[in-house]
């Protein structure tokens, strides 16, 4: 296993929809293992393949509350898609590994139903609410080429973009 670099805004790959995974082969299993190590090292609760530079429709997450046993709540979703939404909620103080230095309140659906397959290719259907619903929406947004900053106010988004552009200019 290896730690992968997390791609950050404004990298162009973050704007592209991810490619469907046709075959769960050894390269996908290896990517899952590397993404797992990267997720826990970050630390984060969700990670899409695009965030580590792989334009593949895959994400993993761990919203388990048992901090003494990391990895016990790890789930992998391949080719996930939201098939049903319900209600509205504000995800307070949402952040992203690919958008460092910004946390914001983000409008989300209160409940979602997601379908995909697991790492063995078995169909998975998840009916989620609360934190899991928000994490799934956030990570699926990544797979669709969308960052959470697109869901916040234009004022806050533009302030963040200007700050990043200034930092990139200063780096040279």
Q: What is the CATH number of the domain that holds 17?
A: 3.90.45.10
Q: Which residues of the chain have pLDDT under 70?
A: 65-71
Cα→Cα distances 87→107, 110, 111, 112, 115, Å: 11, 5, 6, 9, 19
pLDDT of 1 reads 77
pLDDT of 70 reads 55
Q: Do 59 and 142 form a contact (C-beta atoms < 8 A)?
A: yes
Query: Residue 95: which domain range?
Result: 12-171
pLDDT of 68 reads 55
pLDDT of 65 reads 67
| 170 catalytically annotated | no
pLDDT of 104 reads 95
pLDDT of 66 reads 59
- The number of folded domains in the chain is 1
> Is 7 domain-assigned?
no
Choice among 22, 67, 139, 150 that is catalytic: 139
pLDDT of 6 reads 98
> Is 148 domain-assigned?
yes
pLDDT of 172 reads 75
């Amino acid at each position: 296993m290896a730690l992968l670099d997390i791609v950050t805004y404004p990298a162009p790959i973050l704007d592209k929809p991810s490619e469907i995974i046709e075959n769960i082969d050894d390269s996908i299993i290896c990517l899952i293992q590397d993404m797992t190590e990267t997720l826990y090292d970050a630390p984060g609760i969700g990670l899409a393949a695009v965030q580590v530079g792989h334009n593949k429709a895959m994400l993993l997450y761990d919203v388990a509350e048992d901090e003494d046993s990391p990895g016990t709540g790890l789930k992998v979703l391949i080719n996930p898609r939201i098939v049903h939404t319900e209600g509205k909620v504000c995800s307070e103080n949402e952040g992203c590994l690919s958008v460092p230095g910004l946390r914001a309140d983000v409008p989300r659906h209160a409940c979602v139903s997601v379908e995909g397959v697991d790492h063995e290719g078995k169909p998975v259907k998840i009916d989620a609410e609360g934190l899991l619903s928000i994490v799934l929406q956030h990570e699926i947004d990544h797979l669709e080429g969308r960052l959470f900053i697109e869901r916040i106010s234009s004022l806050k988004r533009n302030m963040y973009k200007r700050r990043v552009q200034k930092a990139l200019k200063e780096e040279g």
